[in-house]
């Protein structure tokens, strides 16, 4: 069975085509800068890599280009769009409506649209990808895998906010958690690697969006992102944790509108607001040159992560491993080193030589003196989405 997985973002589409249940990757790639004249299309298959710079102004054009490449007689991997039996979609916010993987219907799409107010950077783009995929891959089952589903195991004492009970009861205002497919995937990999089902793990997903999860015996018990994917760690353009009084001050004293505050905190803050750059590779390069703003931003980022490591170690009442994953977590030895610096009291100590090594496999980077395993585990959200999609349709 061929399963196409789409992660449709506001300006990008990440994709992988799997042969299931073997989990063989038939092709993968990325469409970047959708909406611009110089969009980039990357397509990888059988060890070959095709890169094209072209004008892709919307998701329809992007997915049409993908379908054309899949059908290419020389490099394509399918003979007809009907070869694809399932299209699995990443959807960021499922609210309280979706607690598990769900086949997409008009009613499901309506709820995803309704929840867009809680994830304005993500849900609209996820929905756009669904709508276009339904047209291009019309005979395939369309399935939604929600970032929030893995965190349904978080206990009430952790997900409930200290505001009047009616807001939870009547308006479903609570902590939901995000990046669930990534945290689920790497925590399961860590548990298998440690060969310890009853384990206490902190998974650290660091990319343009960042989050951490406390995982006890394979279950999410707390998470840094909350009602919407804005709080917690410092992110590429999002502020992370901020005193709510600052919002009132911006509106009441500095004449910001609520829309302007939302734009400020979601798109103009985080590492971008601190340095002028949202790409960590640029920030690290500038820090190496002596840019003090970039140096401080890296320290702030690591400091925030360390605060959550300490608090999650406390609620777990111990710690077997911490796991770094996603683009920054897997590739930035600088952020890993800054994060693990001076965590001796928790039994965390890094081996700087191991930390500098590169690998596509699970690797340990702690020192011999470390009581806690420090793991780097490549995430594969697309494979997790494919597995969950197939399991749903088969059942």
More confident residue, 55 or 199: 199
CA distance 229 to 380: 20
Q: Quick: pLDDT tens for 354-392.
A: 999 988 899 999 999 999 999 999 998 899 999 999 999
Lowest mean pLDDT among 124-133, 155-164, 230-239, 254-263: 124-133
Do the Cβ atoms of 154 and 352 come closer than 8 Å?
Answer: no
pLDDT in tens, 165-183: 999 999 889 999 999 999 9
Give pLDDT, residue 130: 92
What are the structural domains, with CATH classification, of the chain?
2-146 (3.30.420.40), 196-376 (3.30.420.40)
Q: What is the 3-state secondary structure (H, E, C) of the chain?
A: CEEEEEEECCCCEEEEEEECCCCEEEEEEEEECCCEEEEEEEEEECCEEEEEEEEECCHHHHHHHHHHHHCCCCCCCCCCHHHEEEEEEEECCCCCCCCCCEECCHHHHHHHHHHHHCCCCCHHHHHHHHHHHHHHCCCCEEEEEECCHHHHHCCHHHHCCCCCCHHHHHHCCCCCCCCHHHHHHHHHHHHHHHCCCCCEEEEEEECCCEEEEEEECCEEEEECCCCCCCCCCCCCCCCCCCCHHHHHHHHHCCCCCHHHHHHHHHHCCHHHHHHCCCCHHHHHHHHHCCCHHHHHHHHHHHHHHHHHHHHHHHHHCCCCEEEEEHHHHHHCHHHHHHHHCCCHHHCCCECHHHHHCCCCCCEECECCCCCCEEEECCCCHHHHHHHHHHHHHHC
- Cα 229 from Cα 119, distance rounded (Å): 7
pLDDT for residue 322 is more than 90: yes
What are the residue numbers of the active site?
Answer: 147
For the entire predicted model, the pTM comes to: 0.88
Per-residue pLDDT reduced to its tens digit, 110-129: 999 988 887 887 888 899 88
Q: What is the mean pLDDT of residues 223-236?
A: 93
CA distance 70 to 225: 36
């Amino acid at each position: 069975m061929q399963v196409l997985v789409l992660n449709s973002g506001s300006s990008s589409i990440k994709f992988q085509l799997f042969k299931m249940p073997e989990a063989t990757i038939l092709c993968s790639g990325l469409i970047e800068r959708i909406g611009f004249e110089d969009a980039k299309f990357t397509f990888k298959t059988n060890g070959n890599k095709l890169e094209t710079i072209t004008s892709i102004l919307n998701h329809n054009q992007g997915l049409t280009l993908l379908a054309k490449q899949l059908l290419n007689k020389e490099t394509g991997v399918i003979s007809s769009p009907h070869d694809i039996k399932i299209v699995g979609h990443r959807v960021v916010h499922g609210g309280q409506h979706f607690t598990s993987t769900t086949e997409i219907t008009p009613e499901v799409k309506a709820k995803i649209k309704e929840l867009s107010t809680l994830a304005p950077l993500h849900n609209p783009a996820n929905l756009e990808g669904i709508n276009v995929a339904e047209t291009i891959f019309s005979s395939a089952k369309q399935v939604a895998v929600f970032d929030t589903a893995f965190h349904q195991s978080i206990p009430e004492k952790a997900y409930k906010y200290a505001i009047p009970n009616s807001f939870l009861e009547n308006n479903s205002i609570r902590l939901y958690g995000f990046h669930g497919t990534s945290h689920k995937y790497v925590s399961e990999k860590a548990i298998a690697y440690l060969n310890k089902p009853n384990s206490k793990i902190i998974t650290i997903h660091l990319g343009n969006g960042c989050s951490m999860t406390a995982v006890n015996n394979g279950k999410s018990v707390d998470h840094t992102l909350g009602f919407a994917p804005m709080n917690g760690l410092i992110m590429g353009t999002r502020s992370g944790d901020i005193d709510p009084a600052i919002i009132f001050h911006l509106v009441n004293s500095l004449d910001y509108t609520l829309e302007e505050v939302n734009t400020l905190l979601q798109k103009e803050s985080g590492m971008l607001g601190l340095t002028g750059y949202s790409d960590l590779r640029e920030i690290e390069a500038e820090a190496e040159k002596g840019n003090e703003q970039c140096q401080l931003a890296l320290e702030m980022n690591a400091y925030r992560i360390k605060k959550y490591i300490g608090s999650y170690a406390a609620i777990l009442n111990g710690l077997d491993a911490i796991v770094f994953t996603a683009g920054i977590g897997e590739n930035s030895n600088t952020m890993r080193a800054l994060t693990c610096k001076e965590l001796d009291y928790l039994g965390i100590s890094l081996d700087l030589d191991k930390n500098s090594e590169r690998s596509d496999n699970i690797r340990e980077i702690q020192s011999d003196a470390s009581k806690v395993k420090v793991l780097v585990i490549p995430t594969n959200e697309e494979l997790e989405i494919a597995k969950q999609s197939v399991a749903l349709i088969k059942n």
